[in-house]
Structure 1
Amino acid sequence: MCDETLTAYHESGHAVVGYALGGKIDSMQLWGEADDYLPERFGDCRVAWGRVDPNTDWQRQREIMTILAGPVAEMIYRGEKLHPATYGPWQHDWDTAMSIASDVVRHPVKCTRLLEMVILELHQHLQKEPCWPAIAQLADELEAHEMLEAEQVADVLEFWLSR
């Protein structure tokens, strides 16, 4: 397994769940330079939620599921269950999800349990149709082109998820 393939599956997991939950995928790429919001990273998936109140529980839930979908898609592809809190490349995803979840669940142990339940749910759903074929096709496209614009992503996601 090469790093580009793993990254492509990871970013595709973010995209499929973000799209399924009502977000618009602005772009995906196999690399991500540091910016004001994120550190340098292996890949990037930009999800636009439109005009929403970021402080509602529903928006927090959508963001948590979308964030954790990347590590879960990569776990499924690898055939390994690694924990995002302890696996270095996923640490930023875990920390971001934990930060969002801690606005809802104040106790750290309960917050961790909540995120682990989300991971289990995502694991069950992402490996089935239509999610897994959508993730696989997006990952193939991303690996082939290194960057996908909104229209390219939407073409794949609409094919698989608009049935």
Structure 2
Amino acid sequence: MDDHDTLTAYHEAGHAVVAYALGATVEQLRLGGFDDADELPQRFGDCRVNWGRVDPKTDWQLQRELLAVLAGPVAEMIYRDEPLHPALDGPSQGDWAHAWELCRAAVPAPELRTRVLESLIASLRQTMQRDAWWAAIAAVADELLAHEVLDQEQTDETLSFWIGRI
């Protein structure tokens, strides 16, 4: 299995590529880790996304946010070639919980909410496995591994090359 930083880089790159493709500005990507695994997670990363001025109550905005949140775990699933469920996979549980809460008002029934989120995951997986999408994710992951922090300009430079191809 690959190291924690590589898995985290692909995870964060998934968030960034999908958010960017859906019109967000990726303000910062960060890769980091902790030495003391007993107290803090071994893997840690962050993708800061800015959607600009939007009405948060619109269905389209909810869809964009859900897709961006779930894209991290999906990128990791593809990289690992394992069909892990984000609700059960430790590093992805926070993303699942975030998506679960985002979706709560629109889909109050827990069983239906689970099916909606799992449907989004399946759709993302099918899309993100396409060559151009995966190349964009790999390019961002490589940059993140090389620099540990990518600002908006660095992310825009990398993604602007790929987005026209996906």
The alignment's TM-score, normalised by the length of structure 2, stands at 0.91
The Cα offsets for residues 110-140 of structure 1, whole Å up to 9 and x where unpaired, read as 0000000000000000011321100001000
Distance in 1 between residues matched to 2:98 and 2:53, nearest whole Å: 21
Cα root mean square deviation, aligned: 1.6
The gaps in structure 2 that reach 5 residues or longer are 35-39
The answer to whether the 8 A contact 1:138-1:156 is kept is: yes
Report the Cα offset of residue 162 of structure 1.
Answer: 2.2
Q: Where does 1:1-163 land on structure 2 (aligned, <5 Å)? A: 1-31=2-32, 42-163=44-165
Q: Which amino acid aligns with 2:133?
A: C
The gaps in structure 1 that reach 5 residues or longer are 34-38
The alignment's TM-score, normalised by the length of structure 1, stands at 0.93
Moved over 4 A (4+): none
Aligned-residue sequence identity (percent) comes to 56
Distance in 1 between residues matched to 2:33 and 2:133, nearest whole Å: 24
Distance in 1 between residues matched to 2:22 and 2:55, nearest whole Å: 15
